[in-house]
Amino acid sequence: MPSLFDSIAFGDIEAPNRILMAPLTRGRSSREHVPSAIMADYYAQRASAGLLISEGTGISREGLGWPYAPGLWTDEQVEAWKPVTAAVHAAGGRIVTQLWHMGRVVHPDFLDGAAPLSASATTAPGQAHTYDGKKPYAQARAATLDDIARVLDDYSRAARNAKAAGFDGVQLHAANGYLIDQFLRDGANQRDDDYGGSAENRIRLLGEVVDRLIAEVGAGRTAVRFSPNGDTQGVIDSDPASVFVPAAKLLNDKGIAFLELREPGPEGTFGSTTQPRVSPAIREVFAGPLVLNQDYDGSNAQAELDAGIADAIAFGRPYLANPDLPDRLRQGAPLNKDDMATWYSRGAEGYTDYPTLETAAA
């Protein structure tokens, strides 16, 4: 069986190892969602990953409701991403951008008071992060067919902009209770038209978006992320396998570069609950590279490859504080501890100042 340190092809992207950096929101862009110069340093520091997946990047103003997160819908944003991708490539790395529409978890404060968009007129539990602190979520409005057509155009534009910005590909964020996930799972999708009801209907938007991305960047540079288990921001499904297995089969037939799953980790936990894993069933219908993500270390990550369930592993929180994570895993070296207080702060502290093994030794 392959090791974490063997090369792999993610469609048209050749990766030197099977250790991916999972998408990690860090909040270092401007209030206008323009990437900052320090982001080039951050991503370049982590370029030894087989593949970097960028933090969630908004496809439109309507779809982005996180303070200081980056976007890809304006020329200014595209130009600001170019030094970031160039720095990663100069360091020998590869980077794809995660395309993000947050759906019902965009607070009206980001929309001049307008209601957010979702599959149905539902409300997320809890509170949203806004520029004025945390506020309760508002009820979403159900997307009309005209809304869906516009969102599809937004995805096309974002993928086109990603290519212009120098990204090696795109990943569709279809996980974690955001817009595509809100259409996929029956806990949030209460529609009775062609986009609701049956699993076939609930995966329709997913397929249409992926077709748009493929048209812009090619199937070999298009990926998708699912979270097929548990309650995520109030989005849940009564029978996850019944929708996510056919969704994975659909993506297999489209020939995408890879599929990433955020699901219960090695101990079978997802958040505070224990959930059955869907990845073995997805493995049966998805022949391309399958990437797992959730609380892995080097040992249990390799065990997933040995079992044939995964072809690669995406690491999230370990990459916050360990820019040289592949070297540390290869050597069995201790990991730096991340500082949660700086996850979404604005400066270099807790962002670009974590030492590598080499700098620590020096």
pLDDT in tens, 332-344: 999 999 999 999 9
pLDDT at residue 77 is higher than 90: yes
pLDDT in tens, 154-192: 999 999 999 999 999 999 999 999 999 999 999 999 999
Amino acid in position 28: R
pLDDT at residue 65 is higher than 80: yes
Residue 280 CA to residue 297 CA, distance in Å, equals 20
pLDDT in tens, 234-281: 999 999 999 999 999 999 999 999 999 998 766 655 444 567 889 999
Q: What is the DSSP string of 131-165?
A: TTEEEE----EEPPHHHHHHHHHHHHHHHHHHHHH
* Distance, first Cα to last Cα, the chain: 36
Per-residue pLDDT band at 229 (split at 50, 70, 90): confident
By C-alpha distance, which of 18, 159, 172 is closest to 94? 18
- What pLDDT shows up at residue 274? 63
Average pLDDT score, the chain: 96
pLDDT at residue 360 is higher than 80: no
From residue 40, alpha-carbon distances to 20, 22, 37, 290, 320 in Å are 18, 17, 6, 28, 15
Which phi-psi region, left, alpha or beta, contains residue 180 (left: φ > 0; alpha: ψ -120 to 50)?
alpha
- What pLDDT shows up at residue 91? 98
Reported in sequence order, the residue ranges of the chain that DSSP labels E, i.e. its strands, are 8-10, 13-15, 19-21, 51-58, 95-100, 117-118, 127-130, 133-136, 141-142, 169-173, 222-226, 258-262, 269-270, 273-274, 290-293, 312-315
pLDDT in tens, 104-163: 999 999 999 999 999 999 999 999 999 999 999 999 999 999 999 999 999 999 999 999
Q: Calculate mean pLDDT across residues 284-301.
A: 96
Per-residue pLDDT band at 362 (split at 50, 70, 90): confident
**Among all chains, which residue has been given the structure tokens 């401007």?**
30
